[in-house]
Structures are given as C-alpha cells and as structure tokens.
Amino acid sequence: MKSKFTVKNQEYEVALEKKERGEEDKFNPYRATVSGQPKGTVQGTCQITDAALEAADKKAAGGGATAGDLIAEACGKSIASELVIRELKPDFSFVVDYRWL
C-alpha cells in the first residue's frame, strides 16, 4: 500500500507493509517506509487502531478506494503532520486512528 503527499512543496511517499500483530501490541503494526526527505528514506511504524481499520472498511464499501488505500492515505496524513514540525527520525512510531480517515 502506498500514498503520496506534499509538505512545504516537498513530495513524499509512504509505503506500508503489514506486520504480524504480537500479543504485546495494542494496535495493528505496519512497517512504514517514507521516501522524499532530504536525508533519504526513513523506516518506522504506523500503529493502526482497530477503529481505523473498521472505518476504512466501511468507507471502502462505499466505493472509490480500497481499505488499504485509505489506510495508506491516513498514514500519509499522520506523517505529514509530523513533517510540518520536523524531519522523521529512524524507527519512528505513530498511532493512526479513525480521525485520519
């Protein structure tokens, strides 16, 4: 799953890969690879809440995009809000809930 977004006239792309949810994981982990930063590609994790996955499924059922596309877009929005403030650090971790959808 991928999504492109722009922050301060700089284009970025996030690629997501679902990771296995462990017993200790409160949310659904997705490996996030973000390209477009001046210092290169950065990897981290987007922690997707169950409510966000449900909202993506409901919204996708209405047509227009897949649930995966909507989750990638939500992660892009979350990451974009951080990039307004500062560059991403390696091994970042953000919780992405239904409000990003």
For residue 28 the two structure tokens come to: 């659904």
Distance CA 87, CA 80 (A): 10
End-to-end CA distance of the chain: 15
For the cut 90, the answer to whether the pLDDT of residue 33 exceeds it is yes
Does the predicted TM-score (pTM) go above 0.85? Answer: yes
- Written as six digits, the tokens of 83 are 């990039």
- Using the predicted structure, report yes or no on whether residue 38 has a pLDDT greater than 90: no
Mean pLDDT calculated for residue range 27-47: 94
Give the integer Cα–Cα distance in Å for 22 and 10.
35
Give the largest CA-CA distance in the chain: 40
What residue spans define the domains of the chain?
Answer: 2-100
pLDDT tens by residue, 45-98: 999 999 999 999 999 998 889 999 999 999 999 999 999 999 899 999 999 999
pLDDT for the residue numbered 10: 92
